[in-house]
Structure 1
Amino acid sequence: MKVLVIEDSPADVAIIRSLLLSSKDPPMELVSFPRLATGLEFLSSTPVDLILLDLSLPDSHGLESVQRTLAAAIANPVIVLTGQDDDELAAEALREGVQDYLIKSNLNQEALLRSIRYSVERKRSALALRESEKRYRLLEEASDTGVWDWDLITNKVYFSPTWKRQLGHGDSEVPNLFEEWERRLHPDDRPRTLEAVERFLTGQSGLFHQEFRLLHKDGSYRWILSRGGTLRDADDKPYRFLGTHVDITESKKVEEDLRRLGAAINQSAEIVLITDLSGSIEYANPAFEHITGYTFSEIKGRKVNVLKSGQHSRRFYQEFWKTILGGQVWRGRFINRKKDGTLYTQDATVSPIVGAGNRAAHFVLVGRDITHEIELESQVRQMQKMEAIGHLAGGIAHDFNNSLQVILAYTQFALRMFPPSSAGHEDLSRVVKAATRAADLTRQLLAFGRKSDLNIAPFDIEPVIKELIKFLEHTIPASIAVSSEIERDLPEVVADATQVHQVLMNLCLNARDAMPHGGRLLLKAAGLKVEAAPRVEGTEIADGDYVEIEVRDTGVGIPPEIQPRIFEPFFTTKEQGKGTGLGLASTYGIVRQHGGMIRCQSQLGEGTSFKVYLPAKPSRPQPAESTQSLEELPRGSGLLLVAEDQEPILQLTARCLEELGYTVLRASNGEEALNMFSSRADEIRLVLLDMQMPVMDGERCFKRIQAISPRARVVVASGFVDSDIRQHLNEIGVREIVQKPYRIPELARIIRRVLDSEA
């Protein structure tokens, strides 16, 4: 061991040399200098293991010598030698960093050698500790991990610079107190975190591992992950609690983003499916399970072709795989098969999930079930088609009405030529009856797809049922036997006969469809007095007299779970294209519009019964008025104006009115009628005005006539009058409307009633 002695007293140097050179453990080599400057100069060029420093030198004295030596001998242990027994000076020197302080008068070999050994060892340990701290500090900074060390005895806490920096503070800005850490805890996290500390320190938990929020200098809170352990004494009592401190705020944000994304995917109504590159299913969200019927555990690892429906060609799938394996996004429509075998349609987007090397590692499908939308679109198209057919049928029916008008009127003229009991009269009466039925059919065509204006009147239901049965016998399969049971002296039904015919037709056709392999169809009718009205789905009918009409089949029956929905618009169990879902809905609406009720009872495998309750009138039908002669009709006199663009109808109507005693002016369009009325307004007692005419239509002509003479009597004739049209005509001042094709008795009574009323 080489020892540098800086001592100006040769005698003291000699003593030190004699004490050290006799030591064999370890062997000593001494170099001495009388001045500090020369000693430090030697030190700068020659390494030594230890420095013995006198504090009273010619060129330096006291603490100055200590400070200069320590500055030059950073790695060397320094022992101070002094002739003064000064405790304060010794303490100052030790605080500066010397290893020991020896008084020359007390110096002996044992004390000197012991001091040297201890000084060298302490310096080596201090250097090692300093190096360890340096490495630890570098590691702390590199890992961005803060450190805390809580002395449980003094309650002081060491917070490392990184710990403070993570909260936005400099090294001197945070007091080293436990209360400082506690104060910074987020209020929501404080009870839970302090409880965890208490449990750990009392040995109730084996590991301290907590996440909590601490207050940052900028006022925000940072998420912290803290792990720690304790040092315990011989009694297993903790006296230090230390650990690490990691800012996980960004990780928490990512975690929250992932949680929101996961929640969005799980709660999404759209299918989300993830597969590997071969199409094996790796993930499916709850919407997939809800729509397809497969649970994730059932299809995990299976190929997506488990959903294959057979509705797409091989080329379709080839193009699909070619697109996504090429790294492109595929957008299109799939028809897939559910677990129960039913098909569903989805709009889908399939995208590659890019992984390492910018290559696709997975595929993600996002799909929306559009089966219901397609059904709605189909229904809308069907409704549009029906509306178009309705317009076409309306145009045909309007022209047909004009022809029927001529047939009915001239047939009634011809009836006058035959006695009531003659064969000719009977034949012509049948022509009138057939033409009247044809007029009813045209009204059905005109009402197709539009709100009908109910023509409610008492009528006998028995002929309607019998006529329907004759029709069914020629149109339904022979394997279905049709029969009827009609109560004798059945009261009249107070309803629109055409609408009731439509209701019974709808029910019978449904019954036919329910018996694909044959069966029995029964139509029953009976009178019923309701005193405690039966209730169906919250509806009721008033007490009174009704006719109960039952349509019963022996078909497949209606499943109980769908019976509550059978009257919903667009609900149908028939295959696509074989039903609109409007039949029973319109049937229900017609019956309720009449103040009646419809009930359904059905058993699977046994059949279905629909019972319709319609208001009744206990009287028999009156004789048909179609055969009433002109001589028996109300007659009159005076000048009438008839405006009609169809020449046969114009001449026919004028002839009938003339035979009833009136004088008739004829006009073939609205403008001609207006000119005639303008020139003879004081003479014309009544105007019969067709609504559809060229040049000027009936509505414009009516308004111009009203402008000329507000008291003018006008009867409007139209081929179709629904509730909307009737309301509109009433709003513009029309008081009487006759629907074409009208019969002469009906027209005669209306004209007489208008003429007899006050304007």
Structure 2
Amino acid sequence: MPRLSSEQLRQVRSQHFAIPLRLLLIVPFTVLLVATTALVGYLSFHNGRRDVNLVAGHLRGELNQRIADHVQHFLDTPRQIGSTLVHLLQHRIVDADDPTILEAYLWQTIRRHPSVTSIYFGNTRGGLVDAGREGADGSLYVMTTDDFRSGPLRKFAIDDQGRRGALLTSIEHFDARSRSWYQAAITTRKPIWTEVYPLITGQDLAVAAGEPVFDQTGALLGVVSVDLFLSHLGSFLSSLKIGTTGQAFIVERSGLLISSSADPQPLQMVSIEQPPERLPAVKSSSPLIRTAAEALTSRFSNPGQKLDEQFEVERDGKRMFLHVSSLNGLNAPDWLIVTAIPEADFMGHITRNSVTTSLLIGISALLVTGLGVLIAFLVSQPVLQLNRNAQMLAKGTLSASGTKSQVKEINQLSETFAGMVRDIQHLVGQLHTEILERQETEQALREREEQLQLTLQAAELGTWDWDIQTGAVRFNDHWARQLGYSPDEIEPDVRSWQRLLHPDDETLIRDTLADHLAGKTPLYQTEHRLRTRTGRWIWILDTGKVIERDAQQRPLRAIGIHQDITITKEMREQLSRQERLATIGQMAAGIAHDFNNIMHGIMGYADLLILTTQPTEEQLITLHKIQSLGQQASFKVRQLLDFSQKTNRILQRLDLRALIAESLQQTASRLPATIELVADLAGDLPEVDADPEQLRQVVDNLTANAINAVSDGGRIHVNLSRQIIDQHSGRLCVVCNEPLVGTWIRIDISDTGHGIADDILPHIFEPFFTTREIGQGTGLGLPQVAGIIAQHGGHVTVISRTGVGSGTTISVFLPLSLEPADKNEQRDASTVRRKGRWN
């Protein structure tokens, strides 16, 4: 750019008064810099301490709230687990008397919650089921007591499929009812937190959340408890940055540490022989925590006092800021959260800034003048060039009026850049709006996807995505695991699903799916069976929908979910059967009582006629026949009452060997030579408390059925023994469907007949169900047996195989007497084998 001559400069000045750019850069800049630096230094020095209080207060408040939120979330996990299990037990979704189902449920739950140490349930008999993880390597284990009652407690390792491994340890005498967590929950009758306690290994502190379980009638079922390792809290506190040297800790009002950012394990060893003890906060390895703990001891010792306070304490002439707050959640432990930050963490920076500011004032005063002159010459030339470039740019579409100034070059620059700034601001505003909208959309999508995944995981649902044109199907991992397969064992093709279908369900599925693919139904849904890897059939609720069609409305893509409803269907069928039998029993009891009254009247009038009149021989025969028929009718009434469990029992201490021997002797005397009766009655068996007439009726009914099964010739075997059945046997009562666990007196009556068909077997204990012709049986024999045994607290099982010589075995299980038997009162019955008679 050519320089202006002196004459040209004078002409410019005469046209408009303007301040030289160099002078404008040097003088105001120097004055403003010195004045501003001095003022800022003065204000920062005097206001620093006040700002420290404000910043420290905000920091402590945010830290305490963050810690409280983390602790509350950490403590909410066991509460949610416990409440869910209590609900399942109360509503019989999970059977409180079935340790196998409880063990599987607890194992699945502990796997989904890594912060939980163990989950266990103790019942009113002292039994325990526990699933947990080891503290060192996190490996899973289960513990159960034998027979789900007080006694030996055994701990087993468990693999990823929930199968038991090696026996890790055992305790011979364990009773859950004697444990503090059980007694505390029963005493309070509401959810509680146990006292914090150190582990025997000294590796960690733990706390348990317990809750009593009551059934729908208010009867106690047991106590659910969930344990947590508190080292999780220590790790979280250690990860926080609290100023430069600040510390955070959680403490009980008694002064004992829960966790801190300075003490990884808040425990102290008194001696090698004694277990570790909890560490008081006043003995922490951090001097800061010790000082804070001493200040807290006298201020916040009232139990249950809700706190959220900030205050200061002095330590060695230096101030320290403290923030103390308590947990505010319902049923939260009475813990205090404390953050402690030395004032020096903040004042050191402010002091250094004050010194630096003072030095800068002096240095700036020396340099500004020299630099101002140099800058004036260096800046003026680029500004003039920039001015010409800005004018060229301003001739385009980006034109705007600038702010007037006494400096000619600055005035032109301001006008040029004012228009550019307005356009850029408008463009930036549009871009910012679009970015915000995009971020909100992406965040919403991420949240929905995460929520969907969590929902599917929690509901244990299998999902499928079917490309209808190609037949390719994408199954999720749980779809495969429902059937016992690993994900890589399932080929991603629709034929993988078709090969697993039950043949009886194919027609229903084909028709239902065809209707939906054709658009006749808004949703595809079926209940069908699939074959698992082990060959077992499970029931699946399959729900899907076509989500994509072409222009001709041909289906292209469908998605859906699989849900295992096997247990639901079994429980539904069992409940329906039990409700049906209960209804029939109630009706039968009512009819039986009314009919019994009528029969007593008929028999009474027959007796009265015999005693008060002089009937002829023919009339006397008729009256005796009336009495005989009345007795037969009364026996049928007795069968109905036994089935409905409405019979009055007279319990006696019985020797079953003698009772069965006497009954079989009478039966053997009526047998033809083609039927062989064999009895094996074990000796030295405990006695039972029972009604002898009812048990004799049970034996008579069962032997009568066996005789009818071998009416053309065969063999009947009666066996009496003592049997111990453990919880893993899987044997269920065919009447009440309850598992057989414990020690029983067992009566087996077997025959070599043709057996019972599979379609008839489920109905043999239903009243009035019979396969005989009309007039040959009422179908009350086996229902009467079931009712009598149920009244005695026993169970019944049936094993039957069809075919010639296969036969049926009906087993009766009676509980032992509550008191020891007197061997001197037992009667003898020997093992015999006779044809056609019993000796």
Does TM, normalized by the shorter one, top 0.5?
Answer: no
Instruction: Compute the TM-score of the two structures, normalised by the length of structure 2.
Output: 0.34
Whichever of the two has the greater Rg, that structure is 1
Instruction: Compute the TM-score of the two structures, normalised by the length of structure 1.
Output: 0.37
